Amino acid sequence: MNEALPHASRREFLRRSAALGGGLVLGAWFEGGAAEPQIAKPEAVFSPSAFIRIGSDGSITLISKQPEIGQGIKTSLPMVIAEELDVNWKDVRVIQGDLNPIYGSQAAGGSTSTPTNYVEFHRLGATARAMLVQAAAATWKVPASECATGDSKVRHLPSKRVLRYADLAAKAATLPVPEAKSVVQKDPKEFKLLGTRVGGVDNRDLVRGKPMFGIDVKLPDMLYASYVKCPVFGGKPVSANLDDLKRLPGVVDAFLIEGTDNLNGLMPGVAIVATSTWGAFSARRQLQVKWDEGKGASDDWTRFTDEAKRLAKQAGAQTLRKDGDPEGALARASKTVEAAYTYPFISHASFEPQNCTAWAKADGTLELWAPTQNPGAGQNLVASTFNIPKEKITLHITRSGGGFGRRLSSDFIVEAAAIALRCKAPVKLTWTREDDLQHDHFRAGGFHFLRGGVDAQGKLIAWHNHFITFANRVNRDGKSVLQNGSGGSLSGDEFPGRWVDNCLLEQTAIECMIPMGPWRAPGSNVFAWVFHSFIDELAHAAQRDPVEFRMEILGNKDLMPGTGERGVPYHVGRMKGVLREVAEKSGWGKKKFAKGQGAGVAFHFSHRGYVAQVAEVTVSKSGQLQVDRVVVVADIGAQIVNLSGAENQAQGSVIDGLSTLLYPELDIRGGRVVQSNFDNYPLLRINQTPPKIECHFLKTDFPVTGLGEPAFPPVAPAICNAIFAATGKRVRQLPLLKNDLRWS
């Protein structure tokens, strides 16, 4: 049975747990990413807090420290401990931990939760198991080497005696912690739990509608708030009919908040506090505000498009990479291709709107409940904005109804804190859907102007990309500088740049007031579409098979010189492995497609993962698209932690990738987002999902990495390349709805 964390401090939880009976509590200090197990008697709980508790009643409680945003980490990371601990998964309870420095990093973003914790969690579980074995050996007065574990028990092999972990917990708690180097971890061949399909620990509660999300939080005497910001990015309120609002039924207060000039922090606005969410939202409809729109009013997508075309022809762009003689290579190429690719700003559109409950108490402490991906950043932002010591801020991590990078930002947390500090009572701030769409920290739009050339043998010999991106002006060390939006910076190491002998990568930023933030697989989510679509154009011009053409570009080196994403070298052999495997699994080149049907391929290295995909599509003469099949092959290291979770992430990436390809677009006019709700910002419907999504995972001798993002980037280019194979039409503008796919 799995439980949600009650509203109690971790120290109080451990005290209560200890009061239930003697037990073993095992925790870990995280210093610079290293964890060293520590032991404490349950009746003398102290920092570090526990990840593992084995009670004398037979219960085994594991703390999940990472935020759960639907990626399944609340299940998969405890599985790692449980595997090494050799327990029966049915005996395990998983409890969500709150923000605590003892746990180290607690952010859920960048597919980092698994790779940053996997090794240490193995060590933690193995240490606990070793101590239980030692306790049993001491009880029986036998060598520990004669003991074995399994099913939450220790067995003495010669005598066949058995002791439950529950029987050994109290004794194990008195033993010294063995040195990490002396602890023997399992051989992966012995794994019983890892690699199997395990349902999410919250699944039962989710389908029963148990309140566990941030939006579900309820406290005694709680108030409810709405926060209204200027519809123009960066604007601020000058005045409002606050007195009129305060006279409305149920309204407790209405006031202006000055805010800061940080587009990702506390923006200026109008707060309305009432005795119910309905009361706050109803009063909001009668709000009348005079706004100072500021310079953001000049932000407009039409202007951006015109400016990008102008900038693409001008000199002075930032050179990110220049190898060989790109212009000369283009001039002598047997065939050249030029193309411009465009994609818009889009929203995260998580189903649970942003929300946070805050309680500013009389003793100067502040308590927060938030569905956040980055609780530490939220605590830091609140502390710095209001000059509150961090140790006086408690942050409870609730389950999130989707994140996709949006909840790495903490604007909704600092807004709730600002309102609570005035009200001196528990206040839940809830954004409307319109707030969520129009005041997101958006995925940056972009423009790519590309040229490429192939020689007489069909080999890629020239590549030029001028990337027009977007940036905000920020203050850094007392200076005003332009900072590109998240995912809005092109790396000089990005494929296929450094694989081409004659390469020029350039970048120019358009300044804007539009707030930008991480969006699932930042940068990669659009770069893969641009690069692999254009590679396909060049393969077609060279009359080459798209898989063969890509294999040739990758070359024969195992490791590409320089560093890849996050400083990790690009392992060419691993990418060729997934590309080769996806061609085989999909039957690439072996099928005969009728007119209007076709297959496309793409791959990408993203967040330490190597993924290749083949998509098969049917396009009717009237231009209606059906994605018939997607084959995914991923190399994320030596071990799949939870096969059910891995398949869910890969299949979810395909569905999310198709939805993002088809529909999302934000029209920016006069500094405002035109779209407001799902009626004009549609998402994929269930009847539009591919009937076949096949997932294959290669086990390789490399560290285990995450899967929340790597399977997303290849989706769009694989589908668009399949559309070309089916219709002869290239998709160079997103969303796909803006393209005419009709054929005859």
Q: Say whether both 481 and 614 belong to one domain.
A: yes
pLDDT attached to residue 169: 87
Tell me, yes or no, whether 197 and 232 share the same domain. Answer: no
Predicted confidence at residue 44, as pLDDT, reads 26
Report pLDDT digits (tens) over 566-608: 667 899 999 999 999 999 999 999 999 999 999 999 999 999 9
Same structural domain, 89 and 35? yes
Burial 534-553 (b: 16+ CB within 10 A, else e): bbbbbbbbbebbbbebbbbb
| pLDDT recorded at residue 289 | 98
Residue 4 — very low, low, confident or very high, per pLDDT cuts 50/70/90? very low
Q: Are residues 97 and 239 in the same domain?
A: no
* Residues 313 and 380 occupy one common structural domain: no
- Identify whether residues 618 and 725 lie together within a single domain: yes
488-490-496-502 Cα dihedral, nearest 10 degrees? 140
Residue 743 within any structural domain of the chain:
no
Q: What pLDDT score was predicted for residue 48?
A: 23
Average pLDDT over the chain reads 92
Flag whether 3 is in a domain: no
CA 689 to centroid of chain Cα atoms? 22
- Residue 690 is predicted with a pLDDT of 98
Q: What is the domain count for the chain?
A: 3
Looking up tokens 């500021």, which residue turns up?
Answer: 294
Using CA atoms, how far residue 576 sits from 222, 296, 380, 528, 580, in Å, is 57, 46, 43, 16, 6
Same domain (yes/no): 539, 484 = yes
In the three-class reduction of DSSP (H, G, I as helix; E, B as strand; rest coil), residue 66 is classed as coil
CA distance 731 to 461: 24
CB atoms inside a 10 Å sphere around CB 390: 14
Query: CA-to-CA distance for 51 and 39, rounded, in angstroms?
Result: 11
In this prediction, residues 348-365 reach a mean pLDDT of: 97
User: In terms of domains, do 397 and 496 share one?
Assistant: no
Mean pLDDT, rounded, for 536-555: 98
pLDDT given for residue 55 in this prediction = 84
Q: Is the pLDDT confidence value at 21 over 60?
A: no
Domain boundary among 174, 207, 240: 207
- Please tell me whether residues 467 and 553 are part of one structural domain: yes
* Element at 236 (helix H, strand E): strand 236-240
Q: Which of 94-98, 141-145, 175-179, 336-340 has the lowest mean pLDDT?
A: 175-179
Question: In the prediction, which pLDDT does 476 show?
Answer: 87
For 201-217, write each residue's pLDDT tens digit. Answer: 999 999 999 999 999 99
Quick check: 490 and 522 in contact, CB under 8 A?
no
190 and 323 co-located in one domain: no
pLDDT score recorded for residue 80:
97
The string of DSSP codes covering 569-603 is --BHHHHHHHHHHHHHHHTTTTPPPPTTEEEEEEE
Question: What is the number of H-type helices and E-type strands within the chain?
Answer: 17, 29
- N residues, the chain: 744
**Which among 349, 401, 399, 350 has a CA at the least distance from the CA of 375?**
399
The predicted structure's pLDDT at residue 57: 83
Query: Is the residue at 497 inside a domain?
Result: yes
Q: How far is CA 3 from CA 35, 60, 223, 368, 392, in A?
A: 25, 12, 27, 20, 27
Strands 427-430 and 355-360: antiparallel
pLDDT average, residue stretch 16-20:
35
User: What is the structure's pLDDT at 46?
Assistant: 17
Is residue 372 within 8 A of residue 410, CB to CB? The reply is yes
Sequence-distant (6+) residues with CB within 8 A of 144 are 133, 134, 137
When computed from its CA atoms, the radius of gyration of the chain, rounded to whole angstroms, is 28
The answer to the question of residue 1 being in a domain is no
Lookup: tokens for 217: 């939080």
Nearest to 378 by CA among 389, 392, 393: 393
Peptide bond into 48 cis (omega under 30): yes
Give domain status of residue 436, yes or no.
no
User: Residue 557: pLDDT band by 50, 70, 90 thresholds?
Assistant: confident
Boundaries of domain holding 512: 301-346+442-738
The Cα 599–Cα 568 span in angstroms is: 31
Cis peptide upstream of residue 158 (ω within 30 degrees of 0): no
Tell me the pLDDT tens digit for each residue of 360-410: 999 999 999 999 999 999 999 999 999 999 999 999 999 999 999 999 999
Contact 480, 384 (CB under 8 A): no
Instruction: Write down the pLDDT at residue 17.
Output: 36
- Distance between CA atoms of residues 512 and 202, nearest Å: 41
The stretch 233-261 carries a mean pLDDT of 97
The per-residue pLDDT for range 57-72, each reduced to its tens digit, is 888 899 999 999 999 9
Q: Indicate whether 379 belongs to any domain.
A: yes
CATH of the domain at 262: 3.30.365.10
Please indicate, yes or no, whether residues 254 and 133 belong to a single structural domain of this protein: no
Per-residue model confidence as pLDDT tens digits over 460-516: 999 999 999 999 999 888 899 999 999 999 999 989 999 999 999 999 999 999 999
Which alpha helices (H) appear in 562-697, and where do they start and end? 572-586, 643-662
Region 451-463: mean pLDDT is 98
**416 and 455 both lie in a single domain:** no
pLDDT bin (cut points 50, 70, 90) of residue 40 is very low
User: Does residue 2 sit within a domain?
Assistant: no
Last residue of a domain, one of 391, 410, 430: 430
Query: Across-strand partners of 370?
Result: 397
In a domain, 422, yes or no: yes
Q: How far is Cα 277 from Cα 270, in angstroms, rounded to an integer?
A: 15
Domain stops at, among 406, 430, 454: 430
